[in-house]
Structure 1
Amino acid sequence: MNDSFINGLKERLPDDLKESFSQEQLSALKVAFGARKWGQHKIDLRGTLRIWRWRYYFVFLAGRNKRDLTRREQELSRMATTLAIAIFLTFATLLGLIVLYLIKSALGIDLFPNYSLGLWGWFKNQFLI
């Protein structure tokens, strides 16, 4: 049988009981215990915190989502991906412009006479002197 719950249950049972359950009993046990696969996450952080006289538990699970996404979840996923790409491209563009400006300044090219952002002077003082 390829049922991971039933295989796991049989592995934990004593040898003399492993084959004594009927298929109906095994199915009933599977329903009773929920047969969920917990603990197979890349990140599985669980603990308790005691604050004054109360105790609180926390669970942080993270891993690959293997469920089928609803239409709303798919839209949110696309929007989050689009936002992440836009932020990355903005950051990369700004970084590229700063690098080009520093190269221009290092070569002594002056596009606007008597005007400077002050970035080259700061960079020279921090990193080159």
Structure 2
Amino acid sequence: MTVKKSEPNYTHVKQLLRKMEPEVAASFSYKQRKALQKAINTRGWNNHKIDFRPTLALPFLPWSFYFVFLGGLNRRTLSSTERVSAAIMFIIALLICGLILLGTLFVLLYLLKSWLGIDVFSNESLGLWDQFKALFW
């Protein structure tokens, strides 16, 4: 692989060509390497709506670690294991939303019961009605 002086520093293309057999890598022309760089730079999969990459560097360790949290519309096809994990995550999300909704419903029903003056267990109270009244009355 011969690189011309006027050729920009295409690090991704160089990395890609280093992984090839030397005679195959040397067969790429300047125009082909430029086309490879353009194709690499126009990847649609590296643009995410949520891209959070915090780094954790501990002073007593010689390494630093990074965590990646990405979010956005998935445009690629999923493998079978990814489909299974996506289904599990969907079920977990449904359960969490259902529990939050159920908890909110119970609190609203309790407040309605207290507002109507219904006393299921005498001298027993969660104190929600008193806090609600103190907050809004």
Identity of matched residues, %: 35
Normalized per residue, which structure has more strand? Answer: 1
- In structure 2, the CA distance between the partners of 1:88 and 1:60, relative to structure 1 (3 Å rule), is closer
Distance 1:102 1:44, change over 3 A: closer
Q: Residue 80 in 1 paired to residue 93 in 2?
A: no
| Deviation of 1:45 (Å) | 6.3
Select the residue among 89, 92, 101 that pairs with 2:110. Answer: 101
TM-score for both structures, normalised by structure 2? 0.56
Q: Which runs of 5+ in 2 are unaligned?
A: 1-28, 53-67
TM-score computed with the length of structure 1 as normaliser: 0.59
* Residue 41 (structure 1) aligns with: 47
The letter for the 2-side match of 1:43 is K
Report the Cα distance in structure 2 between the residues aligned to 1:86 and 1:44, rounded to whole angstroms.
Answer: 24
Matched, 1:92 2:120: no
2:72 is aligned with 1:68: no
Runs of 5+ in structure 1 lacking a partner?
1-24, 47-58
- Residues 60, 90 of structure 1: alpha-carbon distance in 2 compared, 3 angstrom cutoff: closer
Please tell me the residue identity of whatever aligns with 1:69. L
State the one-letter code of the partner of 1:38: R
CA distance in 1, matches of 2:132, 2:104: 14
